[in-house]
């Protein structure tokens, strides 16, 4: 991995999450613009670079369009990932595959429960899930079943949802029972945000919105 990728202004929490994202299930969750996506994408790039030749690499999201916008455009942004973005992330808009660090990556949208069928029959080593709370639970369950290669793992990000959401109740709240690591981010965990922007959000949000958008509470 080219050295300049580590010139990103990352917080200690972001760096720790990248280094420790070796569990079967790895989840970055919390406030909008809290730095969780950049950390998770860096962990994903490192995982792609180290992936064995067997087992598919997958990126999942609400739709192909959200995958392109939230994941592929971010990975291809030289302001975020420097030299890696220059020619190492290739994708034709609308295509269901991309090439990242020389590896074919399959892009799967999961707008409803029928999307679960798109996973059947495949064997995966690595999956990146964008906005996991927006995906059907059946899709998530099927995805975990397909991560069957030795050392396989999923890297997922999400903003908070209700405290009884299936991801929180069934996985995050049961982290001690599972091979799962999770990192919670608040707005103040992103060192790249300007103080003026942070002050503006503090002034704009109150009550429940403040707890969700700034504190990253479920």
Provide the CATH number for the domain around residue 191.
3.40.50.300
Determine the structural domain holding residue 40 and report its residue range: 3-213
- Is residue 218 assigned to a domain? no
For the chain, the domain total comes to 1
Q: For residues 205 and 165, what is the distance between their CA atoms, to the nearest angstrom?
A: 23
Sign of the torsion angle spanned by Cα atoms 125, 128, 132, 136:
negative
**In order along the chain (218 residues), what is the average pLDDT of each group of 10 residues?**
53 94 97 91 96 96 96 90 81 96 96 88 97 96 96 96 95 97 91 87 88 88
Q: Where are the beta strands (DSSP E) in the chain?
A: 25-30, 56-61, 89-90, 97-100, 103-109, 124-129, 153-158, 180-185
- Is residue 190 assigned to a domain? yes
CA atoms within 13 A on the CB side of 42: 27
Predicted confidence at residue 1, as pLDDT, reads 41
- Model confidence, pTM: 0.91
Q: For residues 151 and 136, what is the distance between their CA atoms, to the nearest angstrom?
A: 25
Of all helices (H) and strands (E), which one includes residue 44?
helix 36-50
- Is residue 126 assigned to a domain? yes
- Is residue 135 assigned to a domain? yes
C-alpha separations of 75 from 41, 71, 90, 102 in Å? 7, 6, 10, 14
- Is residue 64 assigned to a domain? yes
């Amino acid at each position: 991995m080219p050295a300049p990728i580590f010139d990103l202004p990352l917080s200690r929490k972001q760096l720790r999450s990248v280094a420790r994202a070796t569990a079967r299930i790895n989840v970055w969750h919390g406030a909008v613009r809290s730095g969780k996506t950049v950390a998770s994408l860096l962990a994903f790039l490192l995982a792609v670079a180290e992936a064995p030749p067997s087992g598919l690499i997958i990126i999942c999201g609400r739709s192909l369009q959200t995958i392109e916008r939230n994941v592929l455009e971010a990975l291809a942004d030289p302001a975020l990932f420097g030299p890696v973005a220059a020619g190492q992330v290739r994708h034709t808009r609308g295509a269901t595959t991309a090439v990242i660090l020389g590896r074919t990556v399959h892009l799967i949208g999961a707008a409803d429960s029928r999307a679960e069928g798109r996973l059947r029959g495949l064997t995966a080593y690595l999956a990146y899930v964008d906005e996991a709370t927006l995906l059907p639970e059946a899709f998530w369950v099927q995805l975990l079943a397909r991560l069957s290669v030795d050392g396989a793992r999923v890297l997922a990000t999400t903003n908070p949802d209700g405290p009884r959401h299936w991801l929180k109740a069934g996985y995050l709240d049961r982290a001690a029972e599972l091979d799962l690591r999770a990192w919670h981010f608040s707005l103040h965990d992103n060192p790249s945000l300007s103080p003026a922007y942070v002050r503006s959000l503090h002034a704009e949000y109150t009550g429940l919105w403040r707890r969700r958008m700034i504190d990253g509470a479920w």
